[in-house]
């Protein structure tokens, strides 16, 4: 089974847990809608790649961690798309959840996916309760307040933004969760894997800024030019396109250098490189 199939199947199993029994049908349907089509599933792919690089001795726990992380990511997209935030019409090439269903169901779908993420980890705990508890703590830390993606969004309501904290929370947090949870699912310490996650997160932010500035809505599957529109800080406006591309390369070099010593170290470096290539917009590749 390929990595992509493994992850998609873990996510599908997780969603099915939230749909069982006599559930209200529209909300049950919204849970699935919010998480599909899967797209790249970048965060869980990094998570499982790290787990595999560390030996992956509890694959069921790594699967649960990957699914939990993706559910949290999808929940954050559903809530970020709400009219009171980005008011996005389109996500992944189809109507955003609040457009396809309703605002109440979008709020509830996000809430339900967050709760399901923690439930999935607790259900997988029997094999290794201590690891599961640490996975829950890592996921909570990178998702909620004071340091997770909720905090990242929260910074947008402040008059004075702490830009470092803002980016680390808003984009970096779930990548840090990805590398640390992958390591912990496979029985390793979380701390040495922080830097890899943080650097991949920075790279993703710069690549996202480049795509937002250079790509069309069709290429993105969501509205383009949003950073300019909302006056959000952006690497392209700060450094220019060429400066942002150089910064992206530097960060990825640092990411690879930061990989802790482990059995699958070389393969993991390859994954980061392949992932960097995938991140880079065609318009940038044509330019350099």
Residues that bind a second copy (CB under 8 A): 18-28, 31, 75, 79, 82, 84-85, 101-105, 107-108, 110-112, 114-116, 118-119, 121-123, 125, 129-130, 132-133, 136-137, 140-141, 143-148, 150-151, 153-158, 162, 165
Quote the least distance from Cβ 181 to a second copy, whole Å.
13
Nearer to a second copy, 31 or 252 (CB): 31
> Is the CB of 140 or the CB of 239 nearer to a second copy?
140
Distance CA 205, CA 189 (A): 26
Least Å from the CB of residue 248 to a second copy: 26
Tokens of 87: 């008011």
19 or 36: whose CB is closer to a second copy? 19
Q: State which residue, 21 or 231, has the beta carbon closest to a second copy.
A: 21
The backbone torsions φ and ψ at residue 176, rounded to the nearest 5 degrees and listed phi first, read -65, -45
Q: Which residues contact 155 (CB under 8 A, 6 or more apart)?
A: 161, 162, 165, 166, 169, 170
**Whether 96 contacts 89, CB under 8 Å:** yes
224: which 2 tokens?
A: 């383009």
Name which of 141 and 232 has its Cβ closer to a second copy: 141
Assign residue 261 a region (left: φ > 0; alpha: ψ between -120 and 50; beta: otherwise).
beta
β-pairing verdict for 90-91 and 94-95: antiparallel
3-state secondary structure of 85: coil
The minimum distance between CB 241 and a second copy, in angstroms, equals 30
List the end-to-end C-alpha distance of the chain, in Å, as a whole number. 36
Q: Is 47 exposed, middle or buried (0-12, 13-18, 19+ CB in 10 A)?
A: buried
- Minimum distance from residue 17 beta carbon to a second copy (Å): 8
Q: How far is the CB of 11 from a second copy (least distance, A)?
A: 15
Question: CB 159 → a second copy: shortest distance, Å?
Answer: 9
Shortest Å, Cβ 167 to a second copy: 13
Task: Closer to a second copy by CB, 145 or 229: give it.
Answer: 145
Give 6 or 79: the residue with its C-beta nearer to a second copy: 79
Most distant pair of Cα atoms in the chain: their distance: 55
CA separation for the pair 23, 39 (Å, rounded): 27
Spatial distance between the Cα atoms of 244 and 201, rounded to a whole number of angstroms: 15
Q: Judged by CB, which is closer to a second copy: 93, or 233?
A: 233
- Distance (Å, whole) CA 153 – CA 74: 15
| In the complex, least distance from residue 106 CB atom to a second copy, rounded to whole angstroms | 8
């Amino acid at each position: 089974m390929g990595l992509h199939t493994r992850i998609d199947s873990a996510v599908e199993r997780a969603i099915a847990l939230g749909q069982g029994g006599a559930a209200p049908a529209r909300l049950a349907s919204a849970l699935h809608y919010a998480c599909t089509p899967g797209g790249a599933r970048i965060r869980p792919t990094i998570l499982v790649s790290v787990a595999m690089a560390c030996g992956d001795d509890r694959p069921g726990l790594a699967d649960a961690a990957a699914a939990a992380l993706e559910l949290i990511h999808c929940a954050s997209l559903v809530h970020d798309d709400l009219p009171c935030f980005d008011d996005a019409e389109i996500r992944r090439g189809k109507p955003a959840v609040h457009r396809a269903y309703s605002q109440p169901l979008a709020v509830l779908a996000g809430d339900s996916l967050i709760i399901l993420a923690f439930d999935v980890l607790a259900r997988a705990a029997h094999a290794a309760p201590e690891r599961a508890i640490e996975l829950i703590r890592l996921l909570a830390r990178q998702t909620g307040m004071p340091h997770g993606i909720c905090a990242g969004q929260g910074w947008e309501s402040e008059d004075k933004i702490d830009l470092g904290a803002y980016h680390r929370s808003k984009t970096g947090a779930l990548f840090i969760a990805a590398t640390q949870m992958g390591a912990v699912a496979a029985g390793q310490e979380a701390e040495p894997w922080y830097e890899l996650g943080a650097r991949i997160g920075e790279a993703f932010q710069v690549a996202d800024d480049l795509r937002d500035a250079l790509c069309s809505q069709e290429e993105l599957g969501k509205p383009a030019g949003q950073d300019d529109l909302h006056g959000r800080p952006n690497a392209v406006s700060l450094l220019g396109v060429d400066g942002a591309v150089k910064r992206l390369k530097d960060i990825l070099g640092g990411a690879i250098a930061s990989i802790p010593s482990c059995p699958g170290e070389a393969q993991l470096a390859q994954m980061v490189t392949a992932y960097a290539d995938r991140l880079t917009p065609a318009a940038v590749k044509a330019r350099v």
